[in-house]
Amino acid sequence: MAKRLFKELERAYGFDEVAIVPGQVTINPDMTSTKMTLGHHSFDIPVLASAMDGAVSPSFATLMHQMGGLGVLNAEGLYTRYEDPYSVLEEIISMPQAEATGYLQQVYSEPIQEHLVGERVQEIRKSGSTCAVSFTPQNTKRMSPVAVEAGADIVVVQSTVTTARHMSRSYRGLIFSELIDTLKVPVVVGNCVTYEVAQELMETGIDGILVGVGPGAACTTREVVGVGVPQVTATLECAAAREDYFRRTGRYVSVITDGGLRTGGDICKAIVSGADGVMLGTPFAQAAEAPGRGFNWGMANPHPELPRGTRIGVGTKGTLSQILYGPTSVTDGTQNFVGALKVAMGMCGAYTIRDLHKADMIIAPAIKTEGKYFQFAGA
């Protein structure tokens, strides 16, 4: 049996299936540096907040900057469709669940107002913050110059699956090398999950790639269309592409694992898998300062007849400061992401993020046991 198969299948892994192996040398966490670079920009922590309207508003982007990270503003969301997005947010939040999906479809059918793109960028820049805005490939060519002219520091081009060679009837394919020549700011593109696509995207001159298609175990994209790659394997592939590209060209493209991360442990595992940074949505939508005030919902969906996201009550878990830096009394890994990262770096003897890339990782499924008494080594 199984002698002749139509194709071979390789095993892929997600965060819940791996664990980091402590190193041969350990260091004190206070000796570690968590710096990340994106093009010529440098950040104290390798953490981005996703371009989701429930997570990142202009003021949340400013707060992320003050905390050392980067909040990406969705330039095709409420903030660029409405002069007053806050009253729309208010409506979304107070809507009964049964009417939420319909209401979202309605409010996102309003057109994007180009002048608001510029205004939102200026709003973020005014506070002295690094400003990153995201577009879908369809709108990037037309709208991203508006954002850059207004002062945007980083442009993110993002769709569920993005390749360097997208074919389309309805609009001339976006050519990333041309875009980069035009904008003259770092461009981050995603999402992708394979060595080949990551390589091709890097060849176009981009400064960062977003890794992640259908990453969550219960991910709707995987349920609905069957497509997806668990994040550890996806990151391992794209990081291999980055290394090969770097060896060949001397240019370092940042790999950002985007989606499916819930805990500090997940962030550490993404980096050991080769990520230079991570991007999270829901954990930031759960911040007290998030515009969604306990709710989150997907980006404007390119396939309205096939929804893969709706409004979800995610709750409020703590301040952004607690989520990133603690202190915290929860022991489930959902707070103090940076503290967790520094402890893991200490256990692996890693002074920098790139040192942490060298740590070993094993396959060790998190089988839940009934008793949860064993909460630390030595228990």
Q: Which of residues 295-354 bind a second copy (CB under 8 A)?
A: 296, 298-299, 301, 303-310, 312, 314, 325-333, 336, 339-341, 343-344, 347-349
Q: Could you tell me if 103 and 95 are in contact, meaning their C-beta atoms sit under 8 angstroms apart?
A: yes
**84-123: contacts with a second copy (CB under 8 A):** 101
Q: Does 53 bind a second copy (CB under 8 A)?
A: no
Local structure of 331: helix, strand or coil: coil
Count of residues interacting with a second copy (CB under 8 A): 152
DSSP classification of residue 369: P
Alpha-carbon span 232 to 246, nearest angstrom: 21
**198-257: contacts with a second copy (CB under 8 A):** 200, 210, 212-230, 232-233, 235-237, 239-241, 243-244
Of 37, 127, 263, 319, which one interacts with a second copy (CB under 8 A)?
Answer: 263
Nearer to a second copy, 40 or 374 (CB): 374
Binding mask 120-159 for a second copy (x = CB under 8 A): --------------------------------------x-
φ, ψ at 340 (rounded to 5°): -60, -45
φ, ψ at 91 (rounded to 5°): -65, -45
Of 45, 51, 70, 132, which one interacts with a second copy (CB under 8 A)?
Answer: 51
Q: Could you tell me if 55 and 281 are in contact, meaning their C-beta atoms sit under 8 angstroms apart?
A: yes
Nearer to a second copy, 118 or 346 (CB): 346
CB of 256 to a second copy, least distance (A): 11
How many angstroms from the chain centroid is the CA of residue 185? 19
Identity (one letter) of the amino acid at 293?
A: R
Nearer to a second copy, 288 or 343 (CB): 343
Alpha-carbon span 321 to 335, nearest angstrom: 9
Identify the residue whose tokens are 């940074």. 277
Q: Does 362 bind a second copy (CB under 8 A)?
A: yes
Of 34-42, 63-71, 89-97, 370-378, which part binds a second copy (CB under 8 A)?
A: 370-378
DSSP classification of residue 286: T
Q: Which residues contact 214 (CB under 8 A, 6 or more apart)?
A: 221, 222, 227, 228, 229
**15-34: contacts with a second copy (CB under 8 A):** 15-31
CB of 135 to a second copy, least distance (A): 13
